Structure 1
Amino acid sequence: MPAPRATTLLMIRHAPVVAPDRLSGRRDVEADVSDTAQARAVAAFCGTPDLIVRSPATRCAQTSEALWPGVEAEVDARLWEQSFGEWEGDWLADMPDLGPLSLAQLAAHQPPEGESFLQVTDRIAPALRDLMARGGRIAVVSHAGVIRASLGLALVEPPAGLAFAVGNWSVTELQGLPDGPMAIARVNWSPHDAA
């Protein structure tokens, strides 16, 4: 029986949204993919993946197309960003002050009519298991919250994922075997790191 095939997940955060001062979450906003140098650098860093998977969000579709023109990505609804419920579309400067919270408290906090970070983690865990079972080099174009939740799962401490910065156009790399632990190979790589 052949050994299980290792998997590398290249978790790519979408390009900047066109209205960066408002909370996007589940709002289907467009991305600004005009920085073709960034797109070329990220695509060169990632190479040719065996599979491209993305969130259903328009900003992820646009980013995927900018990275690999003409290559159709598989869509997985479990990779949507966190829903911020009633806060969706609000100005970031007007977000409520939650006061001092530990990472565990922040992860458990649920915005009105939205979902908590822990709920996001529960939603994406099966998606990550499914991807890890496929083997090979897989590009995943999604959102900061999804990538942070993936890091929390890899650390086996979901709230810890909130401690990571995840920039637009950045690549976070996870490695593993089917049904095994995930290793964090790199976090928040951007084309600027290569300059």
Structure 2
Amino acid sequence: MKAKKVPGIPMQVKGSFHDTESIQKFDNADEIEVKYNILKERFFEINKWGNYSRENNAEFTLCDSSGQQINRPPIIGDYIKILLSEIKNPGINDYQWVRIDMIDKTNPNRIMMQCRPSKVPGNEFAGKTVHFQSAASTSTFVISKGSNYIKMAIYGRNEKANQNTDLFSSLKNIFISLGRMVGSSKINWKQLADGMVSLK
């Protein structure tokens, strides 16, 4: 099985990939427009993403370039802090960090946002990537509408375990990438995508 070729999505070169798509169909154009506007609101409220995936414990927090939580639509250069499982009093090493490298709103029927594993914000010239995947990996989030549907998709490309870290974290990242870490797992993007487009 090959990665889909989607405009704006990086080419798959090495490592693993996923094409996660969820579609909700509607009867008429007016309803689609209303539902797409709701989906856009959800898409840009990153701090609430965890609410839409009922069976997934992942928590998403939008942060600015200094790592402080913010409550506004994302911009390029912001970060998303991700907690993969329910942990009481989580420490900095319990989070995964990605940087928003691209937001494309030029197409009225589609919005794209691309993220890449990153260092802890505010420490750009020191430290290591704080994510279970390497900095070469990308996740591209896309919402779109058509003549009878709305859609959310997440495309992962060039996904490899992050080994640019200490030995313990490197081994942990390998297990998480394989989905075998007890008490922690890969993000279930399908659950998130399904929840985002479920607007009934």
- With the length of structure 2 as denominator, give the TM-score of the two structures: 0.28
- Which of the two has greater helix per residue? 1
- TM-score, normalising length: structure 1: 0.29
Which fold has the larger relative contact order, with Cα–Cα distance below 8 Å and residues 6 or more apart in sequence? Answer: 1
Structure (1 or 2) with the greater strand fraction: 2
